Chains A and B, each alone.
Chain A
Amino acid sequence: MSNQTTPNCTHARRALLSDPGHIADDIQQHLQACHRCTQFAHELSCLDTDIQTGLNIKVPDKLADRILLAKGVRQSRHSNRLGVWLKGVAASAALLMTSIGSYLYLSAPLLVEEIALAHVRDELHHLIDKDNIELAQLNNLLEPLNIRMRNTSHTINYAGSCKIHGSAGVHVVLQGERAPVTLLFMPGEHIKARKTIEDNSFKGVVLPLAQGSLAIVADKQETLEPYEQRIQEQLTTI
C-alpha cells in the first residue's frame, strides 16, 4: 500500500466526497492500493454515520396517518365546495330573476353546524391524540363556561381551550366505539333547539346549553345517540 498522495488520490477523494454512497470500481481499486485514501474513506464514513445519526431525528407519531387523514378531509371538503359552487351557479341564475332573494342567501351568516364542522376539520390532528385526560383537568377547562361533567364513561383523548368562531371554547375528543367523538363547547354560539350536522365525512348534533351550545361530532360510522344522551346526563351547571 502506498503512503504517498498522488493525482489518483485527489480524484478518489473528490469522488468519495461527491457521492459517498456510491464507490465506483476504479475508486475501490485505488483504495485497496492506497493506505492514506483508505484512512480518508474510513474517517469520512465515520463522520457521515455520526452526521446521519444526528440528522435522523424522531418523526412525530402517526405523521403519515395524519397526512392521509388531512387529504381525505380535503377531498371531502372539495366535493362539498363543488356542491357549494353549483349552488352558487344556481343562485346566480336566480339572481337574474330574484336579485333580492339571492342577496339574502349569499349574505347569510355562518350556521352553527358549519362552525362546528369547520373547527373539527381545522384541528383534525386532535382526532389521533391520546393524552388520556383526567376528568378534573377537563372540568378545569370547563369552569369558565360555568359547567362541569359529573363523571365520564369514555376515555378523554384530548381536551383543550381554543377559539371557536372568535369565542373561547373547549375542544374535547373522546375515545368512541369505532371512531373518536369530538365535543365542542361553544359559548359564543347560541341556538334555541337541537340541530343536526352532516357532510361527506362527519355527522353530529348541536345542543343548546345555558351558555352557548355543545356540538357532538364524529365520523359517520360512529353511532352518536348514546353519546348525546350520556353527555347530557353527565353535564351539570355550576
Chain B
Amino acid sequence: MNNKDQEFEALVHAYSADVYRFAYWLCKNASLAEDMTQETFARAWKSIDGLVDDRAAKAWLITILRREIARHFGRKRVDTVPIQETNIERLGNSPGLNAAEQLELHDAIFKLDNKYREPLLLQVLGGYSSQEIGTILDLPPSVVLTRVHRARQKLRKALSPETEISNVVRL
C-alpha cells in the first residue's frame, strides 16, 4: 500500500461516519446519504493530491459532499424532499433524551429550513466556529450566527414547547 492509499484509508476511517451523518441530515434519506458518501470519497480519492493540510480534511470532504448533493438534486430537479426516514433503529444512545423525545427532535431537525439546518450541523456535528462555517457556506459570520441561533430556538421549542424562549441576545 503506497502513501496515497494509506492517506485515503485514514481519511475514510476518520471521517466517513461524519460525512454520512451530514449527508443523512441534508438528504433526509439513508440510502441516498450512503450513495452521496460513496460519491464524496470517490471524488476525494481522485483529488487527494490537492489536500495539502490534513487539518482541513473534514471541511474539504464536507465541501465535496455539498457539491455532490447539489449536483444530485440539480440533475434530478427534485424540489420536494424525500420521505423522512426517522425511525427508532437510527437513534443514537442518549443519556438525556428518551426515544420519543429523540424522534421528536429528529422530526424538528428535518423540518428546519436548510438555511438553518446546515450551519447548525456544521457547528454541532462539525465543531466549527461561525467564522469557519461562513467560509464553508460562503456566508458572513454574522449571518451564520443568526441562523444557528434561530435553529437552536426552533429545536428548543420543539423539545420543550412550554419553555419560553428568552431572546437573551439580540443578534
Q: Kindly state whether residue A19 has any CB partner on chain B within 8 Å.
A: yes
A63 contacts B97, C-beta separation under 8 Å: no
Residues from chain A with a CB closer than 8 A to the CB of B121 are 55
Stretch at the interface among B8-16, B52-60, B66-74, B76-84: B8-16
Q: Could you tell me the distance between the alpha carbons of A22 and B132 in the complex, rounded to whole angstroms? A: 13
Q: Kindly state whether residue A54 has any CB partner on chain B within 8 Å.
A: yes
B129 contacts A22, C-beta separation under 8 Å: yes
A65 CB to closest chain B CB (Å) equals 9
Smallest Cβ-Cβ distance to B15: which chain A residue: A64
Q: What size tier do the contact residues of chain B reach?
A: 35 or more
Q: Main SS of chain A's interface residues?
A: helix
Q: Kindly state whether residue A137 has any CB partner on chain B within 8 Å.
A: no
Q: Kindly state whether residue B109 has any CB partner on chain A within 8 Å.
A: yes
Stretch at the interface among A67-75, A192-200, A207-215: A67-75
Q: Kindly state whether residue A13 has any CB partner on chain B within 8 Å.
A: yes
Q: Main SS of chain B's interface residues?
A: helix
B96 contacts A54, C-beta separation under 8 Å: no
Q: Could you tell me the distance between the alpha carbons of A55 and B18 in the complex, rounded to whole angstroms? A: 10
Interface size of A by Cβ–Cβ distance < 8 Å? 35
Residues from chain B with a CB closer than 8 A to the CB of A58 are 89-92
B120 CB contact (under 8 Å) in A51, A53, A59, A68: A51
Q: Could you tell me the distance between the alpha carbons of A59 and B15 in the complex, rounded to whole angstroms? A: 12
Q: Could you tell me the distance between the alpha carbons of A91 and B105 in the complex, rounded to whole angstroms? A: 60
Q: Kindly state whether residue B137 has any CB partner on chain A within 8 Å.
A: no
B71 CB to closest chain A CB (Å) equals 18
Residues from chain B with a CB closer than 8 A to the CB of A60 are 20, 30, 34
Q: Could you tell me the distance between the alpha carbons of A214 and B140 in the complex, rounded to whole angstroms? A: 59
A54 CB contact (under 8 Å) in B34, B102, B168: B102
Residues from chain B with a CB closer than 8 A to the CB of A13 are 168-169
Stretch at the interface among A42-50, A106-114, A150-158: A42-50
B12 contacts A67, C-beta separation under 8 Å: yes
A31 CB to closest chain B CB (Å) equals 14
Residues from chain A with a CB closer than 8 A to the CB of B37 are 63, 67
Q: Kindly state whether residue A100 has any CB partner on chain B within 8 Å.
A: no
Smallest Cβ-Cβ distance to B89: which chain A residue: A58
| Contact A67 B41, CB 8 Å, known A14-B145, A47-B152, A59-B17 | yes
Residues from chain B with a CB closer than 8 A to the CB of A47 are 152, 155-156, 159
| Contact A51 B41, CB 8 Å, known A10-B169, A64-B13, A68-B9 | no
Residues from chain B with a CB closer than 8 A to the CB of A59 are 16-17, 20-21
Q: Kindly state whether residue A160 has any CB partner on chain B within 8 Å.
A: no
* B112-137 contacts to A (CB < 8 Å): 120-121, 123-125, 127, 129-131
B169 contacts A53, C-beta separation under 8 Å: no
Smallest Cβ-Cβ distance to A70: which chain B residue: B38
A131 CB to closest chain B CB (Å) equals 16
Smallest Cβ-Cβ distance to A47: which chain B residue: B156
Smallest Cβ-Cβ distance to B141: which chain A residue: A18
A51 CB contact (under 8 Å) in B9, B130, B152: B152
* A64-99 contacts to B (CB < 8 Å): 64, 66-68, 70-71, 74
Q: Which 4 A-B pairs have the closest CB atoms?
A: A19-B129, A54-B105, A53-B94, A56-B92
Q: A residues engaging B (CB < 8 A)?
A: 5, 10, 13-14, 17-22, 40, 44, 46-60, 63-64, 66-68, 70-71, 74
Listed A/B pairs (6) with beta-carbon separation below 8 Å: A20-B123, A21-B127, A53-B95, A55-B21, A67-B12, A70-B42
